[in-house]
Structure 1
């Protein structure tokens, strides 16, 4: 699946594609949201949930690795360094 194909899907089909093809990578929280990061093939998808209700309010997909920066401090790579 390509990023372009994923973005063209309706939100319910995007969620289904994540369940079928996505690999969970990391999560993070903000004051208002819980954000889950997935990888599908060569792109990434963030799902934004409202913290109080677990309601999905936004699905963001991207290829640029610069957008992974908010997750980098939370990824433990110590086992890779040994």
Structure 2
């Protein structure tokens, strides 16, 4: 599936596609909103949840790696550095 094909799906179809084919990568919280990152084929998807209500607020697909910077900053590689 391409980013364009995913983007034209309804929200319910997108959720099903993520459940069936998405690969969970990371979850972070920003201002009470859980943001869950998935990878699907050649692109990424952020699913935004209202943390307390566990209600989906938005789904944002993207394929630019610059949008991954916030996730990369949170990865601790100190254990790997000790091995080098």
Q: TM-score, normalised by structure 1?
A: 0.90
Question: How much does 1:79 deviate?
Answer: 6.0
**What secondary structure does 1:36 align onto?**
strand
Unaligned runs of 5+ in 1: none
Question: How much does 1:17 deviate?
Answer: 0.5
Q: Deviations over 1:18-64 (max 9, x none)?
A: 11111011111011300000000000000000011010000000000
Alpha-carbon spacing, 1:55–1:41, altered in 2? closer, same or farther (3 Å): same
Aligned residue pairs total: 82
Q: TM-score, normalised by structure 2?
A: 0.88
Q: How does 1:1-82 map to 2 (within 5 A)?
A: 1-78=1-78, 82=83
Alignment check: 8 A CA contact 1:26 1:75 kept: no
CA distance in structure 1 between the aligned counterparts of 2:80 and 2:42, rounded to whole angstroms: 22
CA distance in structure 1 between the aligned counterparts of 2:15 and 2:30, rounded to whole angstroms: 21
